[in-house]
Copies of this chain bind each other. A is one copy, B any other.
Amino acid sequence: MKVLIVDDEEMIRNVLKEYVEFEGGEAYEAADGMEAVKMCRAADYDIILMDVMMPRLDGFSAVKEIKKNKNIPVIMLSARGEEYDKLFGFEIGADDYVTKPFSPKEVMARVHAVLKRYSDEPASDIVSFEGLTIDMTGRNVYVDGEKAELTPKEYEILFYFVKNKGIALTREKLLMDVWGFDFYGDDRTVDTHIKMLRSNLKQYRKFIVTLRGLGYKFEA
Protein backbone atom coordinates (compact mmCIF):
# COMPACT_ATOMS: atom_id res chain seq x y z
CA MET A 1 0.00 0.00 0.00
CA LYS A 2 1.59 3.22 -1.20
CA VAL A 3 0.25 6.29 0.56
CA LEU A 4 1.05 9.85 -0.46
CA ILE A 5 0.76 12.24 2.46
CA VAL A 6 0.37 15.87 1.50
CA ASP A 7 0.50 18.47 4.26
CA ASP A 8 2.65 21.51 4.91
CA GLU A 9 3.03 20.64 8.59
CA GLU A 10 5.85 18.21 9.07
CA MET A 11 4.46 17.08 12.39
CA ILE A 12 1.26 15.86 10.84
CA ARG A 13 3.11 14.13 8.04
CA ASN A 14 5.27 12.33 10.55
CA VAL A 15 2.38 11.11 12.64
CA LEU A 16 0.51 9.77 9.62
CA LYS A 17 3.64 8.26 8.16
CA GLU A 18 4.28 6.39 11.36
CA TYR A 19 0.80 4.89 11.30
CA VAL A 20 1.04 3.94 7.66
CA GLU A 21 4.35 2.24 8.17
CA PHE A 22 3.16 0.54 11.32
CA GLU A 23 0.50 -1.11 9.21
CA GLY A 24 3.08 -2.21 6.69
CA GLY A 25 2.47 0.47 4.08
CA GLU A 26 4.88 2.73 2.28
CA ALA A 27 4.52 6.43 3.03
CA TYR A 28 5.60 9.22 0.69
CA GLU A 29 5.49 12.90 1.56
CA ALA A 30 4.75 16.14 -0.20
CA ALA A 31 4.77 19.54 1.51
CA ASP A 32 2.32 21.26 -0.80
CA GLY A 33 -0.08 20.73 -3.69
CA MET A 34 2.41 21.56 -6.39
CA GLU A 35 4.81 18.93 -5.13
CA ALA A 36 1.98 16.40 -4.88
CA VAL A 37 0.93 16.99 -8.47
CA LYS A 38 4.48 16.45 -9.66
CA MET A 39 4.93 13.30 -7.63
CA CYS A 40 1.71 11.88 -9.02
CA ARG A 41 2.90 12.46 -12.52
CA ALA A 42 6.06 10.57 -11.80
CA ALA A 43 4.67 7.64 -9.83
CA ASP A 44 1.47 5.83 -8.88
CA TYR A 45 0.07 5.78 -5.38
CA ASP A 46 -2.77 3.74 -3.97
CA ILE A 47 -4.28 6.58 -1.99
CA ILE A 48 -3.61 10.21 -1.19
CA LEU A 49 -4.16 12.01 2.10
CA MET A 50 -4.48 15.64 1.10
CA ASP A 51 -4.56 18.70 3.29
CA VAL A 52 -6.71 21.58 2.05
CA MET A 53 -4.81 24.65 3.19
CA MET A 54 -1.28 24.65 1.90
CA PRO A 55 1.11 27.18 0.39
CA ARG A 56 1.69 27.37 -3.37
CA LEU A 57 -1.19 25.11 -4.40
CA ASP A 58 -4.14 24.24 -2.16
CA GLY A 59 -5.49 20.73 -1.76
CA PHE A 60 -8.63 21.21 -3.83
CA SER A 61 -6.72 22.49 -6.84
CA ALA A 62 -4.15 19.76 -6.49
CA VAL A 63 -6.79 17.02 -6.43
CA LYS A 64 -8.54 18.53 -9.42
CA GLU A 65 -5.29 18.53 -11.29
CA ILE A 66 -4.29 15.00 -10.35
CA LYS A 67 -7.72 13.59 -11.16
CA LYS A 68 -7.45 14.95 -14.65
CA ASN A 69 -4.91 12.29 -15.41
CA LYS A 70 -5.32 9.55 -12.85
CA ASN A 71 -8.11 8.19 -10.81
CA ILE A 72 -6.57 7.80 -7.36
CA PRO A 73 -8.60 7.65 -4.15
CA VAL A 74 -8.24 10.82 -2.11
CA ILE A 75 -9.09 11.62 1.46
CA MET A 76 -9.16 15.32 2.24
CA LEU A 77 -7.86 16.62 5.55
CA SER A 78 -9.26 19.98 6.53
CA ALA A 79 -8.79 22.33 9.44
CA ARG A 80 -12.08 23.94 8.63
CA GLY A 81 -15.13 21.89 9.38
CA GLU A 82 -17.41 23.88 7.15
CA GLU A 83 -20.02 22.12 5.12
CA TYR A 84 -19.06 24.13 2.07
CA ASP A 85 -15.53 22.76 2.04
CA LYS A 86 -16.82 19.29 2.49
CA LEU A 87 -19.16 19.51 -0.46
CA PHE A 88 -16.58 21.12 -2.62
CA GLY A 89 -14.20 18.35 -1.72
CA PHE A 90 -16.63 15.70 -2.90
CA GLU A 91 -17.49 17.67 -5.98
CA ILE A 92 -13.95 17.63 -7.22
CA GLY A 93 -13.74 13.91 -6.64
CA ALA A 94 -12.51 13.38 -3.09
CA ASP A 95 -13.61 10.06 -1.66
CA ASP A 96 -13.76 10.99 1.98
CA TYR A 97 -13.29 13.96 4.18
CA VAL A 98 -11.72 14.21 7.63
CA THR A 99 -11.87 17.28 9.83
CA LYS A 100 -8.93 18.37 11.90
CA PRO A 101 -8.15 17.72 14.63
CA PHE A 102 -8.37 14.06 13.74
CA SER A 103 -7.07 10.94 15.37
CA PRO A 104 -4.61 9.04 13.17
CA LYS A 105 -6.56 5.90 13.96
CA GLU A 106 -9.69 7.41 12.43
CA VAL A 107 -7.78 8.42 9.33
CA MET A 108 -6.40 4.93 8.91
CA ALA A 109 -9.86 3.45 9.33
CA ARG A 110 -11.10 5.67 6.54
CA VAL A 111 -8.15 4.77 4.36
CA HIS A 112 -9.11 1.14 4.64
CA ALA A 113 -12.77 1.90 4.02
CA VAL A 114 -12.02 3.89 0.88
CA LEU A 115 -9.59 1.31 -0.47
CA LYS A 116 -12.12 -1.41 0.19
CA ARG A 117 -14.76 0.52 -1.68
CA TYR A 118 -12.38 0.89 -4.60
CA SER A 119 -11.46 -2.77 -4.68
CA ASP A 120 -15.06 -3.92 -4.22
CA GLU A 121 -16.23 -2.35 -7.45
CA PRO A 122 -13.36 -2.78 -9.83
CA ALA A 123 -14.55 -3.23 -13.39
CA SER A 124 -17.82 -1.37 -13.05
CA ASP A 125 -17.07 1.39 -15.50
CA ILE A 126 -15.20 -0.43 -18.22
CA VAL A 127 -17.06 -1.08 -21.43
CA SER A 128 -15.97 -2.53 -24.75
CA PHE A 129 -17.32 -2.24 -28.25
CA GLU A 130 -15.47 -4.66 -30.47
CA GLY A 131 -11.80 -3.67 -30.17
CA LEU A 132 -12.58 -0.36 -28.49
CA THR A 133 -12.27 -0.47 -24.73
CA ILE A 134 -13.27 2.47 -22.58
CA ASP A 135 -12.35 2.63 -18.91
CA MET A 136 -14.13 5.63 -17.52
CA THR A 137 -12.96 5.22 -13.96
CA GLY A 138 -9.33 4.84 -14.92
CA ARG A 139 -9.64 7.35 -17.76
CA ASN A 140 -8.16 5.01 -20.32
CA VAL A 141 -9.17 4.20 -23.85
CA TYR A 142 -7.74 1.30 -25.81
CA VAL A 143 -7.92 0.78 -29.55
CA ASP A 144 -7.19 -2.87 -30.30
CA GLY A 145 -5.32 -3.13 -27.02
CA GLU A 146 -3.21 -0.10 -27.67
CA LYS A 147 -3.71 2.91 -25.43
CA ALA A 148 -5.17 5.88 -27.25
CA GLU A 149 -3.79 9.22 -26.14
CA LEU A 150 -6.81 11.47 -25.98
CA THR A 151 -6.97 15.04 -24.81
CA PRO A 152 -9.16 15.82 -21.78
CA LYS A 153 -12.04 17.08 -23.93
CA GLU A 154 -11.86 14.01 -26.10
CA TYR A 155 -12.18 11.77 -23.04
CA GLU A 156 -15.13 13.76 -21.78
CA ILE A 157 -16.90 13.63 -25.11
CA LEU A 158 -16.31 9.93 -25.50
CA PHE A 159 -17.49 9.16 -21.95
CA TYR A 160 -20.57 11.28 -22.50
CA PHE A 161 -21.22 9.47 -25.74
CA VAL A 162 -20.95 6.09 -24.05
CA LYS A 163 -23.28 7.13 -21.26
CA ASN A 164 -25.76 8.24 -23.91
CA LYS A 165 -25.25 5.42 -26.33
CA GLY A 166 -27.78 5.31 -29.15
CA ILE A 167 -29.26 8.69 -28.31
CA ALA A 168 -29.29 11.51 -30.84
CA LEU A 169 -27.37 14.46 -29.42
CA THR A 170 -27.47 17.98 -30.75
CA ARG A 171 -24.39 20.16 -30.71
CA GLU A 172 -26.17 22.35 -28.21
CA LYS A 173 -26.76 19.46 -25.85
CA LEU A 174 -23.16 18.34 -26.14
CA LEU A 175 -21.90 21.84 -25.44
CA MET A 176 -24.30 22.16 -22.53
CA ASP A 177 -23.38 18.88 -20.87
CA VAL A 178 -19.73 18.42 -21.75
CA TRP A 179 -18.51 22.01 -21.92
CA GLY A 180 -20.96 23.45 -19.40
CA PHE A 181 -23.75 25.98 -19.54
CA ASP A 182 -21.28 28.85 -19.55
CA PHE A 183 -19.69 28.12 -22.90
CA TYR A 184 -20.43 30.92 -25.31
CA GLY A 185 -18.57 29.79 -28.35
CA ASP A 186 -19.13 28.46 -31.80
CA ASP A 187 -21.26 25.34 -32.36
CA ARG A 188 -18.74 24.07 -34.82
CA THR A 189 -16.12 23.67 -32.10
CA VAL A 190 -17.86 20.37 -31.49
CA ASP A 191 -17.10 19.27 -35.04
CA THR A 192 -13.41 19.85 -34.63
CA HIS A 193 -13.29 17.80 -31.45
CA ILE A 194 -15.29 15.04 -33.11
CA LYS A 195 -12.77 15.08 -35.92
CA MET A 196 -9.87 14.65 -33.50
CA LEU A 197 -11.69 12.01 -31.49
CA ARG A 198 -12.53 10.05 -34.61
CA SER A 199 -8.98 10.17 -35.82
CA ASN A 200 -7.81 8.81 -32.46
CA LEU A 201 -10.36 6.02 -32.47
CA LYS A 202 -8.97 4.81 -35.80
CA GLN A 203 -11.26 2.19 -37.31
CA TYR A 204 -13.75 2.60 -34.48
CA ARG A 205 -14.55 6.07 -35.71
CA LYS A 206 -17.55 4.28 -37.19
CA PHE A 207 -19.26 4.33 -33.80
CA ILE A 208 -19.59 8.09 -33.96
CA VAL A 209 -22.42 8.69 -36.37
CA THR A 210 -23.11 12.07 -37.92
CA LEU A 211 -26.77 13.05 -37.83
CA ARG A 212 -27.00 15.60 -40.56
CA GLY A 213 -28.90 18.68 -39.55
CA LEU A 214 -28.81 17.66 -35.91
CA GLY A 215 -25.57 16.56 -34.35
CA TYR A 216 -24.02 13.22 -33.50
CA LYS A 217 -24.65 9.99 -31.72
CA PHE A 218 -22.62 7.07 -30.50
CA GLU A 219 -23.93 3.83 -31.88
CA ALA A 220 -22.36 0.47 -31.21
Q: Tell me, in angstroms, the Cα distance from A70 to B83 when the chains sit together.
A: 34
Nearest chain B residue, comparing its CB with the CB of A124: B109
Chain B proximity of A112: nearest CB distance (Å): 10
Question: Are A217 and B177 touching (Cβ within 8 A)?
Answer: no
Nearest chain B residue, comparing its CB with the CB of A121: B109
Q: How many residues of A contact B (CB 8 A)?
A: 50
Question: Are A84 and B11 touching (Cβ within 8 A)?
Answer: yes
Interface positions, chain A 1-44, Cβ under 8 Å from B, are 9, 11-12, 15, 18, 21-24
Question: Are A15 and B87 touching (Cβ within 8 A)?
Answer: yes
Q: Which of B83, B139, B168 contacts A138 (CB 8 A)?
A: B168
Residues of B near A83 (CB, < 8 A) are: 9, 11
Question: Are A139 and B214 touching (Cβ within 8 A)?
Answer: yes
Chain B proximity of A177: nearest CB distance (Å): 6
Chain B proximity of A160: nearest CB distance (Å): 7
Query: Can you pick out 27 interface pairs between chain A and chain B where the beta carbons lie within 8 Å of each other?
Result: A9-B83, A11-B87, A12-B87, A18-B91, A21-B177, A22-B177, A22-B178, A23-B163, A23-B164, A24-B164, A24-B167, A24-B173, A86-B101, A87-B101, A90-B102, A90-B104, A93-B103, A95-B103, A109-B121, A137-B167, A137-B168, A138-B168, A139-B217, A151-B212, A152-B211, A152-B213, A153-B213
Q: Which residues of A does B touch, CB under 8 Å?
A: 9, 11-12, 15, 18, 21-24, 83-84, 86-87, 90-91, 93-97, 101-105, 109, 121, 124, 137-139, 151-153, 160, 163-164, 166-168, 173, 176-178, 211-214, 217, 219
